[in-house]
Chains A and B, each alone.
Chain A
Amino acid sequence: MKKSLFWGALTAAGLAAGMSSAATLDDVKARGTLNCGVTTGLVGFAAPNANGRWEGFDVAVCRAVAAAVLGDENAIEFVPTTGKTRFTALASGEIDMLARNTTWTFSRDVDLGFEFAGINYYDGQGFMVPKELGVTSAKELNGATVCIQTGTTTELNLADWFRKNNMEYEPVPIETNAEAQQQYLARACDVYTTDSSGLAATRATFEDPTAHVILPEIISKEPLGPLVRHGDNQWGDVVRWTLNALIAAEEFGITSANVEELASEPTDSPEINRMLGTEGDLGEMLGLDKDWAVRAIAAGGNYGEIFARHIGESTPVGLARGLNAQWTEGGLLYAPPFR
C-alpha cells in the first residue's frame, strides 16, 4: 500500500475504499509492517534511542509479535500515543495493537470494546518519600502533601485509599512525570505517588537515590498488558499466544541463545516441541507458520531476558521480579499449556 501525501489529501474527502478491518492478521501480512502503539516515552518500557530505534519492555512485545507474524522484528511502525489518544488510535484501526502499559480494567475490556491479550507486567500504585521524614508506612502519611498526576486512575486510587484509612491529604496536581520529579525534589510535596515501576525509575534518576524510600504499601492492582480490538479473535490469539510463548519459554528454559538449537530437532520435552514447531501444527492453527514462536523468542529473548534487559535489577530502573516471577518461583506469571 503506497502512502502518498498528495493522494491522501485529494482522495480523503470520502472516496476511500471501505475496507473491512476484521482480519487484522491479513492486513498486517499484506502491509508487511505491524503498526504498534507505544507511549511517547516511559523509562524502561518504551523510548527511542539516539538512533531513533524504539526500545523497552513494552516495545519488546511488539517486536516479538512482528517477528512471529512477519519474520522481522524491525518490520514495525511505532505509533507514539498519549494517554488521551491511545484508545481511539486502536479503535479506529490506526494501530494493530497497543502495548502501552495500559491497565486491564473491566470498563476498558467490556465498554471500550478492547481485548486484553494478557498481562506482561503486574504493577501497583506505591508511595515514595524522602528518608529524612522517617516515614516507614503509608499509614503514617496523614496530612501529607501528595504529588499526583491528574486524570489518571492513580488519582482515584489515592482518594479511595486515604478515605478508607480515615486520613487527610493535600494533593499537588502535576501533569507529567518529569514535572513530578522536579516538584518532589523541590519539596513542593512530601510524597510522590504513581505506579511502583515508575517510582523505581524516578528514584533511580535522583542524585542520591538512597535518600528516598518507596513505602511497602501497594494500594492498587495495575495489571498492564497489550491489547487489541474486540471482534478479531484470530489476531487477538496471535498476540496472546506470542506473549504466552515468551512467558512459557522462560519457564521451559528456552532463551534467545538456545532457541535455534532446540528448534533444530525434537527435544525430549513434548511441550517445547509443540511450541517450537518440531511437533504438531500449533503455528498453522494461529494462521502462522510452524517457526512463529522460535522467531518471537529469538527476537528479544524470553520474558526473563526481556525483563532483565530493560527494567531488571541490573538496569538503572532496577526492578525486582516480585509478582512478575514465574508461578514456579512464587510469582503470578502462568502461561497456559501449549497443547
Chain B
Amino acid sequence: MSNANSNDLSFVRTEILPERTPPTSAIGVVGWMRANLFSGWFNTLLTLLAILVIYSILSVILPWLISPTWGAQSLDECREIIASTFGPNVDKACWGVINDRWIQLLFGFYPSELYWRPILAFILLWAALAPVLFAEGTPRQFLLVTALYPFVMPWLLWGGTIWTPLAILAGFAIAYGIVRLGASMIGTLSAIILSVVVALIWWLLVAGPLAGQLQSIIPLALTEVTSRDFGGMMLSIVIGVVAIGFSLPIGIILALGRKSNLLIVKALCVGFIEFIRGVPLITLLFVASVLLNIFLPPGTSFDIILRVIIMATIFASAYVAEVIRGGLAALPTGQYEAADALGLDYWRAQRLIIMPQALKISIPGIVSTFIGLFKDTTLVSIIGLLDPLGLSNAIRADTDWNGIVWELYGFIALMFFVFCFSMSRYSMYLERKLQTENR
C-alpha cells in the first residue's frame, strides 16, 4: 500500500518486519546460562563458587568410584588389583563386595530357587497399586487384583498351603454376606456386630482345621519359607509396604475418631495417638522382639516379622492420623455445613465431601510420613533382623570383606534413594493431578 502512493507520508511502519533470529547470546545454551548462571556479578561469583565446590567433591569421589575391582573375590584381591593398576597408596572402591553380595542384599537368605516368588509379589504389587495410584487409565478389573493382593502376597512370600489365605478370604465373604442379608432382618448395627463375631469365630476355630482338611484332599502348596530367611531390601520392602498399606486406613479412622463427638471413641483415639507418638519406634520394636516373648506363653510362635510389621503399622498410623487431622482442620467449616445442608449422613459426608479434600491437603505430609516409615525399617537391625544395614554388618563379618564400609553403605543408600525419591516424585504428581482450584 505504501508503495502504491509514494506521497503518502506515514509515521508508523506499515509493514511487518520479517522475524529475525534472536541474538545468539539470548538463546540456546548461552542464553540459558546468561539468564540463569551469570546474570550479574554476584550470581556469576556464586556460580563459579558452586562449580568449584562441585568440582572439588567430584574430583575426590569419581576417581574413587571408578575402580576396576568388580570381579575381585576379597578385599585383599581388590587391593592387589588397585596396587597393580594404579600403584601403591591409591584409595579406590572395592566393588567386588557388591558383585558378590548384591543378591543377598536384595533377597536376604531367601532360597535362591524361589526368587521368582518375591519378584512376582513385587510385580503384582504394582498391578494392585495401579488402580489406587493412577486412578484413570487403569481397567476396573485391576481392582480385583487390589482386593486379592493382601491374601496373595503373604502366600507367595511365606508359602504354605493356598487354602489358608482362601479360608481367611472366606471369613470376609461370610461377614459381608451376614451384613448384606442381616441388615434388613436384624438391623444394620446388629448385623455388623454379628458379622464380626462370626468372622472371628470362623478365623480362630474353623479356618485353620478347614484349610488343613482341604490341603489333605487337594494339596496345593508352595514351599514354606520361614521369616528368618527374609532379609535385605526385601525385608524392608515387605515391612514398609504392609505398614504403609495398613496405616493409611487406620490413620484415617483414628483422625475421624479424634474429631468425633462420641466421648469414648474420642478418648480412645486421642489416647492411642498420643501414647504411640510419645514412644520412640525403637522402644516399640524392642517390645515386639523382647517383651512379647516374655509375656506370651512359651512355645507361642508369633512370627517376628509380623510382630515388627504390627509395631511399624501402629506407629505410622498415629502419625498419619495427625497429618490427616491437619487436613481436616484446614477445611473451612463451610464445607461441613454444606454437607449437612445437603442432607448427607456422617459417612456420606466424609466420603463425598470432607475426605477427598482433606486427603488432598494432607498428601505431602502423608507421603513424607511414609518415606520416614520406609527408612525407619532399617531400625529392625537393632533387634537382630538382617535388613540391608544389618546385612552390611554380617557381610563385613566375612573375613573376605572385613574392613569394607563405604561401598556397602553407598549401595544401600542408592537402593533406599530410588524408593524414597520415587515416592516423593509420585506425591508431587498426585498433587498436580488433584489441583482443582486457583488455576
Give chain A's interface residues, CB within 8 Å of chain B. 1-12, 14-21, 27, 39-52, 56, 77-82, 84-85, 88-89, 91-94, 176, 178, 181-182, 201-202, 204-207, 315-317
> Complex: how many Å from CA A21 to CA B293?
13
* Segment 137-162 of B: residues with Cβ below 8 Å from A: 154, 158, 160
A18/B158 in contact, CB under 8 A: no
Nearest chain B CB to A95 CB, angstrom units: 10
The answer to whether A17 and B297 touch (CB under 8 A), given A8-B303, A41-B396, A178-B405, is: yes
Give chain B's interface residues, CB within 8 Å of chain A. 75-76, 79, 100-101, 104, 108-109, 112, 154, 158, 160, 164-165, 168, 203-204, 208, 224, 226-229, 286, 289-290, 293-294, 296-303, 306, 381-386, 390, 393-400, 402-403, 405
- Select from chain B the residue with minimum beta-carbon distance to A45: B397
> Complex: how many Å from CA A58 to CA B228?
19
> Complex: how many Å from CA A80 to CA B391?
11
How many A-B pairs with Cβ below 8 Å? 158
Interfacial chain A residues near B158, Cβ < 8 Å: 4-5
B293/A48 in contact, CB under 8 A: no
Task: List the 4 closest A-B pairs by CB distance, nearest first.
Answer: A41-B397, A205-B403, A92-B293, A19-B299
B300/A12 in contact, CB under 8 A: yes
Interfacial chain A residues near B293, Cβ < 8 Å: 88-89, 92-94
> Complex: how many Å from CA A118 to CA B397?
24
Interfacial chain B residues near A176, Cβ < 8 Å: 393
The answer to whether A80 and B403 touch (CB under 8 A), given A6-B164, A10-B203, A88-B293, is: no
- Select from chain B the residue with minimum beta-carbon distance to A22: B298
Nearest chain A CB to B292 CB, angstrom units: 8
- Select from chain A the residue with minimum beta-carbon distance to B89: A207
A6/B168 in contact, CB under 8 A: yes
> Complex: how many Å from CA A316 to CA B203?
54
Helix, strand, loop or mixed for chain B's interface? helix
A19/B396 in contact, CB under 8 A: no
Interfacial chain B residues near A15, Cβ < 8 Å: 204
B405/A182 in contact, CB under 8 A: yes
- Select from chain A the residue with minimum beta-carbon distance to B299: A19
> Complex: how many Å from CA A120 to CA B297?
32
Which one of B302, B384, B402 lies within 8 Å of A43 (CB-CB)? B402
- Select from chain A the residue with minimum beta-carbon distance to B79: A207
Interfacial chain B residues near A52, Cβ < 8 Å: 104, 108-109, 229
> Complex: how many Å from CA A56 to CA B286?
27
Which one of A2, A19, A88 lies within 8 Å of B297 (CB-CB)? A19
- Select from chain A the residue with minimum beta-carbon distance to B168: A6
> Complex: how many Å from CA A186 to CA B85?
25
Which one of B228, B390, B395, B403 lies within 8 Å of A77 (CB-CB)? B228
